């Protein structure tokens, strides 16, 4: 129906023949398990996210939200289970799935000694973005950092770091955005700029998976809500069927 999904369509039929049922799914997770050293964090996660959907991931600290996002971003390999992004298995097609994903965390993942532009140009080369200069400058403008283009990232404030991190994540026009507390440090203007970028991403059928501690935010910005507890998905439901009170109640019950 539009440009981004038609690119994947051609690739998918060549690469993965049994994705006929998975038309339109951005993420498919089955039985995902992950332990760090000795502690099991994720004990069997099943999750599906459709293209163009926004999903809010809720849960107390330490329940594995960040771990789940890191696995989806390709930073960590799971111990068991399968993860596929747009029909591609994330272990077999690790590099291709990394192309599809943009990750914004509270760590900016930037190089302090380089300038804003140098950072973006570097990541553009890593993601083989065409017209890197043009794209980098465009994004710097969209996140409101064009006045700091040639300044070293070590001089940036927390909010500016976060905005640049968003720019880094959007360089290669990802199909899936993973946001782990991605709005920490943003001021009012920052929030507005980011929301505009997010809206555009969703309008082009991009999917979003974000973590938050604020239930209001979850209700306002998502189509589906998922609760993680004890390493499992303990609740999954459509946002429009929930009110703030019901959600608070469920949250309390589940995190006992």
Partner 1 sequence: MNKTARRIVGTDLSCPGATPCDRPARELRIFCDQVWAILWKDVRCELRNKQAWTSMGLFALLVLVIFNFAFDLRVDNKVAVAPGALWVAFIFASLLGLGRTIAIEREQGPMDRLLLCPVDRRAIYLAKLLGNVLFIGVVEIVALPVFAALFDVPLGVGALLPIVLFGTLGIATIGTLFSAIAAATRARELLLPLLVFPLIVPVVIAAVRATGDLLAPALNEPPWLGLIIAFDVIFLSVSTLLFQYVIEE
Partner 2 sequence: MALTKPDTSVRQQDTPVSTKRSAGFPLASLLLGGLALGGMLITIWMAFLYAPTDAVEGPPQRIFYLHVPVAWVGMLSFIILTICGVVYLWQRDERWDWAARASAEIGAVFLSLALITGSIWGKTTWGTWWTWDPQLTTTLILWFMFIAYLMLRSYMGRTAASARSGAVLAIIGVIDVPIIYESAVWWRTLHPPKEIGVAGALPSEVVLTLMVALVSFTLLYSFLMIQVYQLQRAQTLAERLRALVE
Question: Under the rule (CB under 8 A), what is the footprint of partner 2?
Answer: 33, 35, 37-40, 43, 79-80, 229-238, 241, 250, 253-254, 256
Contact call for residue 8 and partner 1 (CB under 8 A): yes
Q: Kindly calculate the radius of gyration of the chain based on its CA atoms and give it in whole angstroms.
A: 18
Residue 188 near which of partner 2, partner 1, none (CB within 5-8 Å, type-dependent): none
CA distance 93 to 82: 12
Question: Quick one: 6 exposed, middle or buried, by C-beta within 10 A (0-12, 13-18, 19+)?
Answer: exposed
Residue 38 near which of partner 1, partner 2, none (CB within 5-8 Å, type-dependent): partner 2
CA distance 170 to 198: 10
Residue 201 near which of partner 1, partner 2, none (CB within 5-8 Å, type-dependent): none
Under a CB-based contact definition with an 8 Å cutoff, are residues 120 and 136 in contact?
Answer: yes
Question: Using CA atoms in the order 196, 199, 200, 206, what is the torsion angle rounded to 10 degrees?
Answer: 140
Residue 187 near which of partner 2, partner 1, none (CB within 5-8 Å, type-dependent): none
CB of 63 or CB of 97, closer to partner 1: 97
Residues lying near partner 1 in the complex (CB under 8 A): 2-4, 7-8, 10-11, 73-77, 94-96, 98-100, 103, 107-114, 118, 122-123, 125-131, 135, 152, 172-173, 200, 204
């Amino acid at each position: 129906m539009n440009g981004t999904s038609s690119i994947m369509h051609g690739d998918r039929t060549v690469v993965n023949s049994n994705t006929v049922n998975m038309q339109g799914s951005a993420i498919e997770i089955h039985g995902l398990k992950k332990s760090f050293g000795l502690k099991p964090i994720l004990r069997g996660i099943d999750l599906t996210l459709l293209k163009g959907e926004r999903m809010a991931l809720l849960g107390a600290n330490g329940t594995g939200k960040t771990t789940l996002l890191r696995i989806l971003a390709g930073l960590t390999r799971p111990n068991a289970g399968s993860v596929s992004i747009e029909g591609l298995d994330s272990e077999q097609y690790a590099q291709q799935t990394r192309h599809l994903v943009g990750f914004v965390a509270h760590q900016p993942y930037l190089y302090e000694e380089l300038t804003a532009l140098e950072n973006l140009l570097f990541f553009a080369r890593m993601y083989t973005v065409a017209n890197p200069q043009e794209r980098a400058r465009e994004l710097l403008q969209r996140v409101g950092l064009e006045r700091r283009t040639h300044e070293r990232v070590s001089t940036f404030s927390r909010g500016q770091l976060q905005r640049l991190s968003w720019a880094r994540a959007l360089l290669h026009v990802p199909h899936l955005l993973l946001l782990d507390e991605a709005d920490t440090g943003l001021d009012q203007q920052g929030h507005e700029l980011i929301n505009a970028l997010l809206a555009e991403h969703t309008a082009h059928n991009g999917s979003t998976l974000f973590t938050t501690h604020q239930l209001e935010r979850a209700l306002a910005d998502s189509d589906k809500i998922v609760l993680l507890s004890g390493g499992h998905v303990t609740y999954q439901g459509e946002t429009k069927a929930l009110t703030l009170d019901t959600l608070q109640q469920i949250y309390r019950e589940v995190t006992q």
